[in-house]
Amino acid sequence: MPDKLLQIEELTVSFDGFKALSDVHFSIEPLSIKVLIGPNGAGKSTLCDCIIGKVRPATGKIIYKGKDISRAPEYRINQAGICRKFQAPGVLERLSVFDNLAVATRQNRSWQQNFRLNLSKPEKDRIEETLELVGLEKRRNLQASYLAHGEKQWLEIGMVVSQNPDLLLLDEPTAGMTAQETAKTAELIRKLVEKHTVLVIDHDMTFVELLKAPVTVLNQGQVLKEGSMEEVRSDPEVISVYLGRAHEEPIHA
């Protein structure tokens, strides 16, 4: 295994001549958390879209497990172990918590109509493990529509984890959460790195601090700064970028 799970080199993305990303360099170590922050429009989601193969870069490389995936089809990238959780919860509202995880676990066997029948012992064990990981053991039989907002987000993280990804991309996982839910989410993400590598995009600084992970700041499609949260938040350029837009995204400093 190469020392980096993901390495991005000279990545440039152009939308009708507008450069959403220019010359971005970025890397993630295996079994670690990396945080991507930056004001609205900085290019964070575009970077994620490139990693999962939804957006094609104009130039540059995305090297994953030693191979350039920048031109690979989306399903291939997914099969290779990169999964993304989107901002909006995508749980199946009418199914129970357990059945949501069963569907996610069995997604590669979708021809099997009744996902609950014939779950193998290892599949059942995995679902139990995931329920515990995301703290929803006691909610297992509850219909997902009755979950609180934060619980739905955790279930969705559980659904992504059920696909056993090597690299998990979480785009604003704490959107709309209470402070308590946000703290629990940070704890959950820190547990995920025992088995997965996680790229987190967020702009809630209190949350980012709880992750205790290296931070990359994007601004106007370029990497502005990399370092620990302490280094980044005391950087004059970073401060000016955020303060200039403080009305949009408070830096909770």
Ligand X SMILES: Nc1ncnc2c1ncn2[C@@H]1O[C@H](COP(=O)(O)OP(=O)(O)O)[C@@H](O)[C@H]1O
Which residues in this chain contact ligand X in the complex, by CB under 6 A? 15, 20, 38, 40-46
**Measured from the CB atom, is 15 or 146 closer to ligand X?**
15
We find the least distance from the C-beta atom of residue 175 to ligand X, in angstroms, to be 12
We find the least distance from the C-beta atom of residue 201 to ligand X, in angstroms, to be 7
Largest Cα–Cα distance of the chain, in whole Å? 58
Contact status, residue 155 vs residue 91, Cβ threshold 8 Å: yes
Q: Which does 40 bind (CB under 5 to 8 A by kind): Mg ion, ligand X, none?
A: ligand X
Given the DSSP bridges, would you call strands 222-227 and 215-219 parallel, antiparallel or unpaired?
A: antiparallel
Residues that bind Mg ion in the complex, under the rule CB under 5 A: 44-45
Residue 66 region by backbone torsions, left for phi larger than 0, else alpha for psi between -120 and 50, else beta? left
Sheet architecture: strand order including 67-68: 18-28, 6-15, 59-64, 67-68
We find the least distance from the C-beta atom of residue 245 to Mg ion, in angstroms, to be 14
We find the least distance from the C-beta atom of residue 150 to ligand X, in angstroms, to be 22
Q: Which does 46 bind (CB under 5 to 8 A by kind): Mg ion, ligand X, none?
A: ligand X
Q: Which does 60 bind (CB under 5 to 8 A by kind): Mg ion, ligand X, none?
A: none
Q: What is the DSSP letter of 96?
A: B
Q: Which does 41 bind (CB under 5 to 8 A by kind): ligand X, Mg ion, none?
A: ligand X
User: What residue is closest to Mg ion based on CB?
Assistant: 45
Which value, to the nearest 10 degrees, does the dihedral of the CA atoms of residues 9, 13, 17, 20 take?
A: -110
